Amino acid sequence: MQPSLHSADYVVFLVYFLVVAGYGCWIYAKKKAAVTSSQDYFLAEGALTWWAIGASLIASNISAEQMIGMSGSGFKMGLAIATYEWLAAATLLIVAVFFMPVYLTNKIYTMPQFLRQRYNGTVAMIMAVFWLLLYVVVNLTSILYLGALAINAISGLDLNVCMIGLAVFALIITLGGMKVIGYTDVIQVFFLVLGGLVTTYLALKLVAEKFGTTGILNGFSLTMAHAGDHFHMILHRDNPNYMDLPGLTVLLGGMWISHLSYWGCNQYITQRALGASLPTARTGLLFASFLKLMMPVIVVLPGIAAYVLYQQGSFHNELLLAGKVNSDKAYPVLLNLLPTGMKGLAFAALVAAVVASLAGKANSISTIFTLDIYKRYLRPEVDEKKLIWIGKCVIVAAMTVAILIAPHLGIDKEGGFQFIQKYTGFVSPGIFAMFIMGFFWKRTTSNAALFATLGGFAGSCFLEFLPRWVDLSGCASRGFTKATAAGIYEIPFLDRMEIVFLFCVLGMIVISLLGKKPGTPGSGENATGTALAVDTSLFKMSKGFAVGALTVCGVLAALYTLFW
């Protein structure tokens, strides 16, 4: 089936575009007079409601790598990949209870600012440059290129046209600042969820029809019956996908490091809540947690349904790439089967996911450069109006660079969602160790933070290449390694993250105890850093939040029990 959109599809998409762009312009005009400082522009200080924060978190998180890559992982390994969504729901609660009070009490607006305030300027500068390179060269380009590929697969539009169109759409939203991003993300999430549910409905309907019946409930039952091995959350060692999701590690080990680093120590994510009050930020994170519970229905279940259809003889040619089945093509294949009009809605959902992520990432790039590099080191005396203008220029520059370099990075040849998770894991353990120790152990020094930053990356690289140098087959019986298709006994990357994290924490403890004790809160910046003001009473939850959090935990417990 040739990818194409019909007139009705373009009409649906045009309605979506006009609603989002029009609402964004209205919010910008309404709030423009209130934007008097860089904090207002970059963080929407005090302006975002809890529902805008929650929706913006989800809109920024869900992009092409989830809708295409995670659905492909659903096709390949099944519901187990949903652990990235469901454990994120629990992680958001932890961030709301323990991380947000620390950030807001100490008036933290950016992650480099936290590092400078807690450790010193050297640590902050290293990480600011690192995050800028990571966000521009890896994240922004990946979101843009994978999104363009997905849209190209559905619409047949030229790949470069898709990239430029996505970038321009994102710029319309991003240049309005965090207020516009936050409130337009509410609409983006609406289209994302609605369009995603349409695709899930189609997939289950096709399964039902394949077996001579009707109805999506029958389709779901048949999917479970004919893909029973795809409905297990915890994979056994004999599962071919064990290296990606190694058994109980997803509940007790490295998966938590991945999640807490992403949701709690990531400018791109935490920025949505840093300008709010603590009750508003917590409620927004709780709302995002509830939304996370339903995401596998949108991004995983279609892939499993496509697997059942493939097993029954459908899509054999459509899923082939270079003579092999490419699971990442499952979602675009389903979208191309949607009827006219519905396809336009699903197309809008995919664009919404990509554009929201691009806007959030570009805003974070601008915030870090403007507040942590330009104002801090290049022009400390710059006025607020000029600072906002610089921020807008950085957004345009970052998007332009992404368009120019994305086609040359081989992103489409590297795989989908799991590849992104694996290589993000090279830096996550050290970053998380640096943050968590800085939060809750006042003795932690800046030298210890530098060790975590550099030592964590070095440790990850060492464990990645160790199996090429040493035969680790002896560790297989103890569950530490497993043979790959090439016969090399490797450490699963989530287990590797856990090992590196523990190595970083141990090293930080030793270095800190041997070094000079950090200053007390308010004593100013020094060579060993300044401990944060942490009032444990702020960790206390309101009754409403506690009830909501318990509800999320209860649903998660039920899901893992049902699909263990």
Structure confidence by residue, pLDDT tens digits, 487-523: 677 788 888 888 999 999 999 999 999 988 776 554 4
Q: Which pLDDT value is given to residue 417?
A: 57
* Mean per-residue pLDDT of the chain: 82
C-alpha to C-alpha distance for 136 and 19, rounded to whole angstroms: 28
- pLDDT category at 374 given cuts 50, 70, 90 is confident
pLDDT score recorded for residue 410: 65
Name which of 85, 94, 98, 103 is nearest 549 in CA terms: 94
How many Cβ atoms from other residues are within 10 Å of residue 49's Cβ? Answer: 16
- Determine the average pLDDT of the residues in 232-240: 85
> Rounded to the nearest 5°, which phi and psi values hold at 77?
-120, -15
268 pLDDT exceeds 50? yes
What angle in degrees, to the nearest 10, is found between the helix axes of 493-514 and 428-440?
A: 40
CA 235/CA 219 separation, integer angstroms: 24
Topology of 7-27+63-212+262-411 in CATH?
Sodium/glucose cotransporter (1.20.1730)
Give the pLDDT score at 416: 47
Out of 161-165, 287-291, 517-521, 551-555, least confident range: 517-521
Contact by Cβ (8 Å): 233, 560: yes
Q: What single-letter amino acid sits at 3?
A: P
Backbone angles phi, psi at 25, to 5 degrees: -65, -40
479: left (phi over 0), alpha (psi -120 to 50) or beta: left
Average pLDDT over residues 262-281: 82
Residue 228: the pLDDT is 87
SS (H, E, C) 433-490: HHHHHHHHCCCCCHHHHHHHHHHHHHHHHHHHHHHHHCCCHHHHHHCCCEECCCCCEE
Most confident of 59-63, 372-376, 422-426: 372-376
Q: What is the pTM of this model?
A: 0.85
**Is 50 exceeded by the pLDDT of residue 92?**
yes
Residue 358: the pLDDT is: 86
Domain boundaries, the chain: 7-27+63-212+262-411
The confidence score (pLDDT) of residue 116 equals: 86
Higher pLDDT, 244 or 227: 227
pLDDT of 298 strictly over 50: yes
Q: Which amino acid is at 168?
A: V
Q: Which amino acid is at 78?
A: G
Give the Å distances, CA to CA, from 402 to 153, 163, 267, 506, 509: 20, 9, 19, 38, 39
C-alpha span between 491 and 243 (Å, rounded): 8
Q: Tell me which range, 345-359, 444-458, 468-482, 547-561, is most confidently predicted by mean pLDDT.
A: 547-561
State how far Cα 544 lies from the chain centre. 27
Q: What is the C-alpha separation between 366 and 374, in angstroms, rounded?
A: 10
DSSP per-residue letters across 297-359: HHHTHHHHHHHHHHHTT-STTTTEETTEE-GGGHHHHHHTTSPTTHHHHHHHHHHHHHHHHHH
Q: What is the pLDDT of residue 277?
A: 85
CA 418 to each of CA 84, 292, 305, 415: distance values in angstroms, whole numbers, following the listed order:
10, 18, 20, 7
pLDDT band, residue 525 (cuts 50/70/90): very low
Tell me how crowded residue 225 is: count the other CB atoms within 10 A of its CB: 12
In angstroms, the Cα distances linking 67 to 248, 307, 333, 335 are 25, 16, 12, 11
Residue partners of 313: CB distance under 8 A and separation at least 6: none
Q: Is the pLDDT score of 41 beyond 70?
A: no
pLDDT of residue 477: 59
Per DSSP, the chain holds a count of helices (H) and strands (E) of: 26, 4
The segment with the largest mean pLDDT, out of 23-27, 143-147, 296-300, 345-349, is 296-300
Picking from 80, 82, 68, 74, the residue whose alpha carbon sits closest to that of residue 333 is 68
Q: Quote the pLDDT of residue 408.
A: 76
Question: Rounded distance, CA 57 to CA 288, Å?
Answer: 7
Q: What are the residues whose beta carbons fall under 8 Å from the beta carbon of 137, sequence distance 6 or more? A: 405, 409
Instruction: For residue range 5-19, list pLDDT tens digits in order.
Output: 788 888 888 888 888
User: Rounded mean pLDDT of 398-422?
Assistant: 71
User: Which of 413-417, 468-472, 537-541 shows the lowest per-residue confidence on average (mean pLDDT)?
Assistant: 413-417
In the prediction, which pLDDT does 90 show?
A: 95
Tell me: pLDDT of 75 over 80.
yes
Residue 88 is predicted with a pLDDT of 92
pLDDT, tens digit (0-9, with 9 covering 90-100), for 102-139 = 888 888 877 888 888 888 888 888 888 888 888 888 77
Tell me what pLDDT residue 275 has: 72
- Is the pLDDT score of 57 beyond 70? yes
Name the CA radius of gyration of the chain, rounded. 23
Residue 285 has pLDDT above 90, yes or no: yes
Mean pLDDT of the region 203-227: 89
Most confident of 119-128, 251-260, 279-288, 512-521: 279-288
Please state the separation of Cα 329 from the chain's center in Å. Answer: 21
